[in-house]
Amino acid sequence: MADSPLLSVRNIEVRFGGLIAVAGVSFDLNAGEICALIGPNGAGKTTLFNAVSGNVVPNGGSIRFRGEEIAGLTPHEISALGGRRTFQNGGLFPELTALENVLVGLHVQVGSDFLGLLFGRSSARAEVAATKRARELLSLMDIEHLAEQKAGALSGGQQRMVEIVRALATNPHLLLLDEPAVGLSPAARQQLAVVVRDLARTRNVGILLIEHAIELVMSVADRVIVLNDGRKVADAPPEQVRADRSVLEAYLGHA
């Protein structure tokens, strides 16, 4: 496991009817590495994300995660293997409190089985332990004061933080962040950058990040992959990508 990458994507292709959304993209992601996916709207970033998280079944290619083929697995199976994601907008459960959101994130770890629950003593102990853990997680991000608030009533920035806490609840190996900086204040973006870098450096989480906020990308990413029309046009450290002509073309069109 030490040598092979955490995530290995090979020739992934996703078609919607006649439209080719992702056309044979390959890349690797190592544990502890932060990789940003950028590209103009419609370049296939979110579709590629969905293929990795199981929300879309790729038409071709292979995705290996921790040595296991995951292309075509369901989202809950990939989640259980340790691949977690956040959503571009509204990924929380708005009617549940922030704490309950995190508890749902812990779902697979709350050990209570159906029949034992109904006829056994009680699942209270498992629930109390999970609740304690969920509060700890919220306090790690300094948002424990929001625990009892309904997620739908939180500000955009607070919702992002809750969603990230929720995604981290089970100590995932891979974190997919879909435009986490949208709607965040500059201060909140700074905080987000610190959190993301910390996750990669100290917890060795591999992070794949879709982001339009280019200064965030440049400040946190170890590598930047540029997509255009479903194809990979660049895969390099941020400073190199910044200077790349093909990237300019992807964003501005051909001269």
Partner 1 sequence: MRLRRVFWLLPIVLLPLPWFLNQYQQYVLNTALLYVPVGIGFNLVVGNLGLLAFSNVAYFGLGAYASGVLMAQLGVPWWITLLPAALIGGAAGAIASIPALRGVRLFYLAIMTLAFGELMRWTYIRWEALTGGSMGMAVPMPDLLGWSLDTDLRRFYVFLALVVMLVTITDRLLRSRFGRAFMAIKDNEVAAAAMGIPTDLYIVLAFAWGGAVVGIGGAMFAISVGHLTPVSFDLTELLRQFAIIMVGGLGSLAGTIIGAVIVTVAPQVFISFPGFDELVFGLLIILVILFLPRGLASLLARAHPAFVERYYRG
Report the interface residues with partner 1, using CB under 8 A: 53-55, 74-76, 79-80, 84-85, 87, 90-97, 99-100, 103-105, 107-108, 110, 112, 114, 117-118, 122-128, 130-131, 166, 170
Smallest distance, partner 1 to C-beta of residue 254, A: 37
- Judged by beta carbon, residue 27 or residue 49, the one nearer partner 1 is 49
Residue 207, beta-bridge partner list: 34, 175
Report the C-alpha gap between 203 and 187 in whole angstroms: 23
- Judged by beta carbon, residue 30 or residue 55, the one nearer partner 1 is 55
Smallest distance, partner 1 to C-beta of residue 238, A: 28
Smallest distance, partner 1 to C-beta of residue 198, A: 22
Smallest distance, partner 1 to C-beta of residue 57, A: 14
> If you search the block for the tokens 């100590």, which residue do you land on?
171
Q: What tokens appear for 28 in the block?
A: 């690797």
- Judged by beta carbon, residue 69 or residue 77, the one nearer partner 1 is 77
Report the C-alpha gap between 54 and 47 in whole angstroms: 10
- Judged by beta carbon, residue 44 or residue 105, the one nearer partner 1 is 105
Amino acid identity of 14? Answer: V
Its sign, for the CA torsion 44, 45, 46, 49, is positive
Smallest distance, partner 1 to C-beta of residue 90, A: 7
Report the C-alpha gap between 56 and 200 in whole angstroms: 26
Residue 87's alpha-carbon distances to 53, 108, 177, 233, in angstroms, are: 11, 20, 7, 25
- Judged by beta carbon, residue 125 or residue 201, the one nearer partner 1 is 125
